[in-house]
Amino acid sequence: MDWRSEPRAITLDLDDTLWPVAPTLVAAEQALSRWLSKQAPATAARLDVDRRATLRKVVLSDHPDRAHDFGFVRHELLRRALSEAGDDPAMADEAFAVFLAARQQVTLFDDVRPVLAQWSARYRLVAVSNGNADINRVGLADYFIGAISAHEIGCAKPDPRMFHEACRLAGVPAEHTLHIGDDPHLDVIAARQAGLHSAWLRRPDFAHRHSADTCGSASPFEDLHALEAALAALR
């Protein structure tokens, strides 16, 4: 930990930082599949894993400038899948809405609400995510002053503009802002390079992804309680 003083603002990643994202995405895909089976069975029959992967590559090839926008890519994938199966491509709007609603049904890690409740009373909190989770729809908006998402900003982490926009929203300079996230490259190193302080949240469930020395001298924290203890030591 290289912090010398208590931050005035904290920016937080969402997926795999405040909740495990894989179970949520699996459930959202299942909800979408059930909807397609009822409303667009021809599309459902054709849209297997391989076809989705192929369509995704085509969409990204046709729209490289939208690669950061996961929602656009999925919506366009669905539109094309519906069209090639002979279904109404306009159904992509409702299909995507079904997926997006299920995507907001997250299961928070146990430490999230108690620690965010403490932090929101002392710091300006901003959510920063490449994904399309919505802090309002997942029920965390009361803890944050706002959120930065890749599809709204037009770029994705590790682009420094994501972090700079979060600092602007918080009204706090980068040097007085701490970013917390699970990805050593997209969160920890990228935030540091953008001028913020950073902390690596390496939850035990995901410890296998990166060795503890991935970020060099930045030792990982196992949960938000450990991070709160480190912040308390600066007061």
Using alpha carbons, select from 185, 182, 211 the residue that is nearest to residue 17: 182
Pair (184, 216) in one structural domain: yes
184 shares a domain with 209: yes
Domain match, 146 and 131 both: yes
Q: Is residue 144 part of a domain?
A: yes
Task: Classify residue 1: in a domain, yes or no.
Answer: no
For residue 163, give the amino acid letter. F
Enclosing domain of residue 178: 9-20+108-232
Are residues 67 and 115 both part of a single domain? no
Residue ending a domain, among 51, 85, 103, is 103
Q: How many domains does the chain have?
A: 2
pTM above 0.95, yes or no: no
Same domain, 116 and 222: yes
| DSSP letter string, the chain | ----S--SEEEE--BTTTB-HHHHHHHHHHHHHHHHHHH-HHHHHH--HHHHHHHHHHHHHH-GGGTT-HHHHHHHHHHHHHHHTTS-GGGHHHHHHHHHHHHT-----TTHHHHHHHHHTTSEEEEEESS---TTTTT-GGG-SEEEEHHHHT--TTSHHHHHHHHHHHT--GGGEEEEES-IIIIIIHHHHTT-EEEEB--GGGGGGS-TTTTTT---BSSHHHHHHHHHTT-
In a domain, 35, yes or no: yes
pLDDT of residue 1: 56
Whether 188 maps to a domain, the answer reads yes
pLDDT of residue 66: 94
Q: Where are the alpha helices (DSSP H) in 180-222?
A: 190-193
| Residue 3 belongs to a domain | no
Domain with residue 59: its CATH number is: 1.20.120.1600
Judge whether 4 lies within some domain. Answer: no
The 3-state DSSP class for residue 91 equals helix
CB 192 within 8 A of CB 198: yes
Tell me: do 99 and 114 sit in the same domain. no
Residues 98 and 45 in one domain: yes
Is residue 147 located within the same domain as residue 217? yes
Question: By three-state DSSP, how is residue 158 classified?
Answer: coil
The whole-number mean pLDDT for each consecutive block of 10 residues of the chain, a chain of 235 residues, reads 84 98 96 97 95 95 94 96 97 98 98 98 98 96 97 95 98 97 96 96 89 79 96 91
Q: Quote the pLDDT of residue 189.
A: 94
122 and 219 belong to one structural domain: yes
- Rounded Cα distance, 184 and 158, in Å: 10
Residue type for position 44: A
Which of these three, 62, 84, 103, is where a domain ends? 103
Of 68, 103, 138, the residue that ends a domain is 103
Residues in the chain: 235
For the chain, where are the E strands, in sequence order?
9-12, 124-129, 146-149, 177-181, 197-200
